[in-house]
């Protein structure tokens, strides 16, 4: 199963991207899953003027995103919380597409430096997923105080979070396998 992970922050020193990289690393150890990363910082889409389907001159990056989303059996968002929602860069990227999401299992990992772990980003992304016809995984993973989860080498050092992440990923894969 091809699982596209979308890393949703374009900021320098982004902490949520560490979680996206950790997700990819853990998914690579699962034989039935082929994880693939789409990154709003590295794979920048221009400011939305026209959705992909109606765009008069889609860029190579637009074609790239569309191709990856078309091939995806499921999509997992890893997003920080910005102003009680998800980041504008992620919104801009996601809004280029619509049909590409229909009936695809979608999961959410939210990230925050605060104690609530990005719960408002979860809520906003769930609404997005429903609007575009995705199959929203009812579970989600919040990531509070992300700055304390990794050691100075960038290794995930919080064993409790690692356990929660593994459990979430397995539940999402099971859901995606049944509904994809």
pLDDT tens-digit series, residues 105-153: 999 999 999 999 999 999 999 999 999 999 999 999 999 999 999 998 8
Which residues, including other chains, have CB under 8 Å from residue 118's CB and lie 6 or more apart?
79, 80, 81, 110, 111, 112, 142, 143, 144
* 23 in Cβ contact with 143 (< 8 Å): no
Average pLDDT, the chain: 96
pLDDT of residue 53: 96
Question: Per residue in 144-155, pLDDT tens?
Answer: 999 999 998 889
Place of tokens 């929602």: 85
Residue 27 confidence (pLDDT): 98
Domains of the chain: 2-179 (3.40.50.360)
């Amino acid at each position: 199963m091809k699982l596209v992970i979308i890393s949703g922050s374009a900021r320098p020193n982004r902490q949520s991207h560490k979680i996206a990289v950790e997700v990819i690393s853990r998914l690579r150890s699962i034989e039935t899953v082929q994880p693939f990363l789409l990154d709003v910082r590295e794979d920048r889409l221009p400011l939305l003027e026209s959705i992909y389907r109606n765009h008069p001159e889609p860029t190579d990056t637009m074609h790239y995103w569309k191709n990856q989303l078309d091939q995806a059996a499921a999509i997992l968002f890893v997003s920080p919380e910005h102003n009680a929602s998800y980041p504008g860069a992620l919104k801009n990227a996601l809004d280029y597409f619509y049909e590409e999401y229909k009936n695809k299992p979608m999961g959410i990992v939210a990230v925050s430096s605060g104690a609530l772990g990005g719960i408002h980003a979860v809520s906003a992304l769930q609404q997005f997923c429903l609007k575009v016809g995705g199959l929203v995984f009812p579970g989600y993973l919040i990531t509070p105080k992300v700055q304390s989860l990794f050691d100075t080498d960038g290794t995930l050092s919080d064993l409790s979070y690692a356990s929660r992440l593994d459990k979430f990923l397995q539940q999402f894969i099971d859901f995606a396998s049944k509904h994809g």
